[in-house]
Amino acid sequence: MAVFVAAVVFSPTRGGELLFLNSDNLFNVVRAVSEIGIIAVGMTFVILVGGIDLSVGAVLGLAAVGSAVLLVHQDLGVLPAVLLVLLAGLVFGLLQGMASAMLGIQAFIVTLAGLQIARGLARITSGGQGVAIAYGDGPGEAPAVFSLLGERTFNGLVPIPAVIFVVVAVLAIAFLRMSAFSRHVYAVGGNEKAARLSGVPVTRVKVIVFGISGLLAALAGIVHAGQLNQGSPNDGSGYELDAIAAVVIGGTALSGGRGSMIGTVAGALLLGVLNNILALNNVDPNVQLLVKGLVIVVAAGLQRLRPES
């Protein structure tokens, strides 16, 4: 809320209207954070069990490349291509989860290796270059319906990626609040040994949360390809850091066992609002990085001062 108020106060004006509060601009903020937000939702599950997933940005790049290649080079329809990419992301996440939970390798190491593997696979698949997505009915052209990911709905006001982010966030919030699995997630993150002694299937829980993270990273990659009309092996570079920042700003403890999905959504929106107001004021990009880093540290520090419920 403090960042939002500051954005209003420091917003430039045009014709007597605050540019920040313009409806198009506000929806652009949500659109801009949609990919990071989707990834951050999956990252929240992983961090809640005391893990970390450094591969999500590379998985996004792999999914973007995979979407472009399947649609353009393999002439697949949108539904089969999307399902294959989502399945690939799910399997990639599950494999990382099994390597960490079953082999006892730290998640940091497993997903750092996963980052390299996913980035390498993306470069091999694309030949090291971006794959442009052209639309039409001929060979080498993707079905035009895929381009809807870069469009707006509700009378041209709400970006489709923002709608996808909101739907994912709402489903995750409901799932984390009402499902029995979520109680296992918090139990494993709070005290893994006690959870195991209480009959919680710790290994299964860890594998599943990594699967969720991989699945949502792949979904973000599909959205990314649809927005930019291409898939590049370098897409998603650094996204894992923004996703982790959103989760931590939202109050989820890196040690696991404490946090909320609503907090993660708020953290992602904070980053979006911050980037937007700095850009509206034409702040030097190097200064933007400095301000963004300071705000992340302050926000995370304030979260630690909150009394635990």
* Predicted local confidence at residue 120, as pLDDT: 96
Contact 222, 67 (CB under 8 A): yes
The string of DSSP letters for 190-243 reads H-HHHHHHTT--HHHHHHHHHHHHHHHHHHHHHHHHHHHTEE-TTTTTTHHHHH
- Give the mean pLDDT per block of 10 residues along the chain (309 residues): 88 88 90 95 96 96 96 93 97 96 93 96 93 88 91 87 96 93 94 92 96 97 95 93 92 88 93 91 88 81 66
* Predicted local confidence at residue 289, as pLDDT: 86
* Predicted local confidence at residue 138, as pLDDT: 83
In the numeric block, the tokens 């300071």 are attached to 294
* Predicted local confidence at residue 303, as pLDDT: 67
* Predicted local confidence at residue 307, as pLDDT: 61
C-alpha 234: how far from chain center: 16
d(Cα 214, Cα 223) in Å, to the nearest integer? 14
